[in-house]
């Protein structure tokens, strides 16, 4: 392995960070997304799985996400490679009473790509899209074991409104879940706090 350094007096190249909404996969994108997902699951990063389900299951899952009209898939790239993702989930059309609120789900950054601000950028990207679609509120939930995610969401103004003591079962142990919301815009007639 060769350690490449910048010439004296110059700055080393910065990491390229990019958040985008995907509507189709390249072969490399799907492979890197599956690798990042496996790494996050192994690290205990949630996503619903406790153990990696295998490449075929992940590929099928992500291909399916792109087919669901109420879901949008956002990815985080580090130097061109997908290293994390999140879903913006819109309420079904028959849920008129909650049509003002969307949900942020399955957000993660692979452990090998953390520390670059991608989780914050990914969350803000989903928020921007939710605002663009005229949602007033963004909801999310998270396992109590995901301390970094909890700190991030709270630093971005998400308000914890509830807790479920039986949210997840991981290796035989009940894990609490925390529920959050964030107002993205004021509703007509709403008094700001």
How many domains, in total, are found in the chain?
Answer: 1
Q: Is residue 113 part of a domain?
A: yes
Q: What's the CATH number where 127 sits? A: 3.40.630.30
Give pLDDT tens digits for 46-102: 678 889 999 999 999 999 999 999 999 999 999 999 999 999 999 998 989 999 999
pLDDT digits (tens, 9 = 90+) for 115-151: 999 999 999 999 999 999 999 999 999 999 999 999 9
31-45: per-residue pLDDT in tens? 999 999 999 999 986
pLDDT at 1 over 80: no
Q: b/e for 95-107, b at 16 or more Cβ within 10 A?
A: eeeeeebbbbbbb
């Amino acid at each position: 392995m060769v350690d490449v350094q910048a010439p004296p007096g110059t700055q080393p190249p910065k990491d390229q960070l990019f958040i985008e909404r995907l509507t189709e996969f390249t072969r490399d994108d799907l492979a890197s997304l599956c690798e990042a997902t496996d790494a996050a699951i192994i690290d205990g990063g949630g996503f619903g799985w406790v153990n990696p389900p295998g490449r075929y299951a992940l590929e099928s899952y992500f291909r399916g996400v792109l087919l669901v009209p109420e879901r949008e898939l956002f990815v985080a790239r580090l130097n061109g490679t997908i290293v994390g993702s999140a879903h913006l989930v819109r309420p079904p059309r028959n849920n008129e009473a909650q049509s003002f609120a969307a949900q942020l789900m399955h957000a993660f950054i692979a452990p090998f790509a953390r520390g670059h601000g991608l989780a914050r950028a990914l969350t803000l990207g989903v928020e921007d899209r939710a605002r663009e679609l005229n949602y007033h509120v963004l909801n999310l939930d998270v396992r109590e074991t995901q301390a970094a995610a909890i700190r991030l969401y709270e630093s971005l103004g998400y308000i914890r409104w509830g807790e479920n003591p039986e949210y997840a079962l991981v290796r035989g142990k009940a894990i609490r879940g925390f529920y959050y919301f964030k107002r993205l815009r004021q509703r007509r007639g709403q008094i700001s706090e």
